Amino acid sequence: MGTTEVIDPATGEVFTTVPSLGSAETDAAIERARTAFGEWRQVSPGDRARLLRRFAAVVEDHLEELATLEVRNAGHTIGNARWEAGNVRDVLNYYAGAPERLSGRQIPVPGGVDVTFHEPLGVVGIIVPWNFPMPIAGWGFAPALAAGNTVVLKPAELTPLTAIRLGELALEAGLPEHVFQVLPGKGSVVGQRFVTHPAVRKVCFTGSTEVGKSIMAGCADQVKRVTLELGGKSANIIFADADLSAAAAAAPGAVFDNAGQDCCARSRLLIQESVYDRFLELLEPAVRRFRVLDPSDDSSEMGPLISAGQRDAVTSYLEGSDIAFRGTVPEANGWWFPPTVLLARSNADRHWREEIFGPVVSVLPFRDEEDAIRLANDTEYGLSGSLWTRDVGRALRVSRAVETGALSVNSNSSVRYWTPFGGMKQSGLGRELGPDALLSFTDVKNVFISTGA
């Protein structure tokens, strides 16, 4: 077993190391989870619910510790990190209500009684990305545990610390040993073993579309279930009748939050031609005011990128592009990149089509409603998006026509833990969160009981 260095993105300095598990250690952990599943699935619904509520309470007690850890590990602003730790608490509390409500059906049939049961799958492998390490982990393990599965979770190599701590807090809360295990290591080792090990009956993956396709293909060999939340290139559509001041004020946060390292980032800004110039006039001061500061500063709205490699990748999109205006960054070490607005010459521009995963937004005008829908849908992705208009009929028409899994009107919100979240097209498969997520961690079993003599 080796080790991995953990770097503070705000300084570029190594500040700790964590274990990096090999194949043997991963297999041993999966076997422990398989053994623990036999007992965990038999825990009564009420007791399972109480343990999840206790887990949520322990997370609440360690909220500031988890947030501070995420600031240093992932470069998230302290405000965002507090929300993320709170989201883990809230998701645990939400799914703590699920074990006692995981009801089957009684289906009318002749000659007997027919009932269905939602049976847990077994061991669930969860592969978490580096951009939102805490909440995305919780979106997987909370419903999986509530449904009676055991969980092995692989955090991203760059950001393992909060996941490791959550694993410790689960034990502190009283979850039985080996029911929830965190396995730090390389994706090519730990994550790949989740795909190939026959005891792992489902894989949840959040990350790039390219890797998601590979995981899906690998799981097919064992007819293994998958939930995939993949890339995005979401549109923010501004109609001429919208509240332009409100839309312009909200637009920077919609793409620069978490330094643009968000699959839901509204990184394609579509503006109706008749208000194009006016909207850019409103947008520029909003971008320049966006506060990029030390992420531990309570007033910071954006921190650094996750790594030097990511900064280089984002920088490559500026070559030959038309820069409209930019924000500012601290004069400090670390992986800083200013909020940037690019003017697209057409929808063929590389920065318009590809997921940049940085604080860069591409702007393009559109003619009318039909043109806006055409441009919004001209992408392989379909995860999130927004539209701004005062016309209720248009809001409904365009919402139904845009091919995306989550869309907001006069808002840029994507995620609520009590509503479904997931993508269309190459942005993913399946839905997380909301009332139905639990069912994706179960199989439906049908039982017919004859009442004949």
Residues designated catalytic: 229, 263
What strands lie across the sheet with 112-120, from one edge to the other? 106-107, 112-120, 442-450
The SS3 assignment for 433 reads coil
**CA neighbor of 234 nearest in space, from 340, 379, 394:** 379
User: How far is Cα 294 from Cα 262, in angstroms, rounded to an integer?
Assistant: 19
User: How far is Cα 157 from Cα 235, in angstroms, rounded to an integer?
Assistant: 30
CA–CA distances in Å: residue 451 to residues 55, 104, 112, 423, 448: 44, 20, 5, 45, 10
DSSP sequence for 198-266: TTEEEEEEES-HHHHHHHHHHHHTTT-EEEEE-----EEEE-TTS-HHHHHHHHHHHHHGGGG--TT--
CA torsion angle 215 220 225 226 (round to 10) = 20
Q: Cβ(239)–Cβ(389) under 8 Å? A: yes
Using only C-alpha atoms, the chain has a radius of gyration, in whole angstroms, of: 23
Sequence-separated (6 or more) residues with CB below 8 Å from residue 251 = 236, 266, 269, 283, 286, 361, 412
CA torsion angle 159 161 162 168 (round to 10) = 150
**CA neighbor of 80 nearest in space, from 432, 422, 433, 415:** 415
Sequence-separated (6 or more) residues with CB below 8 Å from residue 95 = 52, 142, 143, 145, 146, 438
What strands lie across the sheet with 408-409, from one edge to the other? 322-326, 340-343, 360-366, 268-272, 235-238, 385-388, 408-409
User: How far is Cα 145 from Cα 47, in angstroms, rounded to an integer?
Assistant: 12
User: In this structure, what token pair is assigned to residue 385?
Assistant: 């998006």
User: How far is Cα 177 from Cα 413, in angstroms, rounded to an integer?
Assistant: 37
